[in-house]
Amino acid sequence: MKTAGLLLGICLAVTTACVSTPLKFPSAPIGPNEKALGKTEATSTGIMLFGFIPINQNTRFEDAIREAAAKAGGTRLTDVTISEQWFWALVLDGFIFKVEGTAVANK
């Protein structure tokens, strides 16, 4: 029991996290040759190892948006809302990008 408490204390001491406020983006309305496919969402994580080695940092936004549209069979998103969650550990900083929106496809 004492070991479990010590491990929990160490984990709390070396890891912490924050979450951003969701941000809604204006987007182009659904055109006459397009159809709405419904709500969709996706996430993508990027890491900064040792504070200067980026892993999936530069593409996490595009990856999440592309994945969200593809999950619903669409080509783009409209009514986009994004948020991000950050976490820190001893050797890395993590950034989880989340995108939500309505998938749109050509008719």
Question: Does some domain include residue 92?
Answer: yes
**Burial (CB count <10 Å: 0-12, 13-18, 19+), residue 106:** exposed
What number of H helices and E strands is found in the chain?
2, 6
Q: How many angstroms separate the CA atoms of 78 and 28, rounded?
A: 7
pLDDT value, residue 68: 96
Question: Does some domain include residue 8?
Answer: no
Question: Does some domain include residue 7?
Answer: no
Range of the domain at 32: 17-106
CATH of the domain at 94: 3.30.110
pTM for the model stands at 0.78
How far from the centroid of its chain's Cα atoms is residue 101's Cα? 12
Which residues in the chain show pLDDT less than 70? 1, 5-17
From residue 8, give the alpha-carbon distance in Å to each of 5, 18, 19, 72, 88. 5, 19, 22, 40, 16
Helix spans in 15-82 (H):
60-71
Question: Does some domain include residue 28?
Answer: yes
Question: Does some domain include residue 63?
Answer: yes
Question: Does some domain include residue 1?
Answer: no
pLDDT value, residue 2: 73
Question: Does some domain include residue 2?
Answer: no
Question: Does some domain include residue 5?
Answer: no
Q: What's the number of domains the chain is made of? A: 1
Here the tokens at position 29 are: 């309305």
pLDDT value, residue 21: 84
From residue 63, give the alpha-carbon distance in Å to each of 16, 41, 70. 25, 12, 10
pLDDT value, residue 26: 85
